[in-house]
Amino acid sequence: MPFALASAALPLLRLLDAETAHRLGLQGLRLGLAGRDRTPPDPRLAVSALGLTFSNPIGLAAGFDKNAEALAPLAGLGFGFVEAGTVTPRPQPGNPRPRLFRLEEDRAVINRMGFNNGGLDGYVPNLAAARARLHGKRVPIGANIGVNKDGAVPERDYPALVAAVAPQADYIVINVSSPNTPGLRSLQAAERLSPILAAIGRETPRHPPLLVKIAPDLNEAELPGIVEACAGGGVAGIVVSNTTTARPPGLRSPNAPQAGGLSGAPLFGPSTVMLARVAKLARGRLVLVGVGGIMSGRDVLAKLRAGASLVQLYTGFALHGPALIPRLKAELLAALAEDGFATAEAAIGAGLKE
């Protein structure tokens, strides 16, 4: 079993606080202790989007590897693409610990990390090294960018971030939706987002495909303006969605009242509803990435049917470990066949017509 060692380590890591376990997990990945998925790619899962080819639509979301330290080993676990960050122009420590909490009973996580990262100076060389290692392996790399908590000037900082990561990234995600940096979520409003996109267009006109990551807590009335700002502002896609500040009824974990963004199974329903709304507004003009609560191949298929071309995991991967990825791909193939889809691409947006 390629992931036997990693699977055996999971119960031990859960004895530690969540952030310490995460750090040790990343170190294990860097050392190659998590194993590899040696299953040949199945062409039925291949997706073409953003001018790129993905061997499967299942990617790793930003937040897991903030400093791009373990992207090549993570890609070896069977992901179709991997995304590093969020990176800010300058290093910052983030919020005080504890700031990462497991909600085991709810298959969820709450974080209030606060964009803790080492800044661009360490991130870009790590991104370049990962890109070199993955050359020719059809595992695109995404760079997720954000602004510092203090001293940020979004119209200055986002273009500079795009320019810095563009040579080493296959696509770039503009994070304007983390709930853990004060004021950041206001930047996703159309009247704030449009000047940022215009500044990127002026300062860095040549760059990989840009995507904007939005929050699941947006009012439905705000979505049309945001979608139009993206469609008219040189954006290739939208990532739906970031973590939620809402606390759905029925959460059982004693950690549920913790402040921060909630991710995992409770986010699946709300994020998928928002995904479908964005897909209908976008009308095929934008590539959509579905994120939030994916725990099974059926969940992946639901996101595809709701309009996503690609999906991303964070919490499911953190809870279940590397063995989750080949399981998801096998379950997705079975779900596609059961629903009468010959390929993953054939399922994209199918649910919008129902």
Query: Which residue of the set 177, 178, 241, 263 is catalytic?
Result: 178
Torsion of CA 165, 244, 335, 351, to 10 degrees: -90
For residue 78, give the DSSP letter.
T
| Cα(263)–Cα(101) distance, integer angstroms | 11
290: helix, strand or coil = strand
| Cα(243)–Cα(238) distance, integer angstroms | 15
Q: Which of 124, 126, 136, 229 is nearest to 166 (CA)?
A: 124
| Cα(267)–Cα(278) distance, integer angstroms | 16
Amino acid symbol at 175: N
Whether a cis peptide bond, with omega within 30° of 0, leads into 270 is no
| Cα(307)–Cα(314) distance, integer angstroms | 20
Strands, DSSP E only, in the chain? 47-49, 52-54, 58-60, 81-87, 100-103, 108-111, 141-145, 171-175, 210-214, 237-240, 261-264, 287-291, 310-313
**Could you confirm whether 309 is annotated as catalytic?**
no
Q: Classify the phi-psi angles of 292: left when phi > 0, otherwise alpha if psi is within -120 to 50, otherwise beta.
A: left
What distance, in Å, lies between the first and last C-alpha atoms of the chain?
A: 41
Give me the active site residues, please. Answer: 178
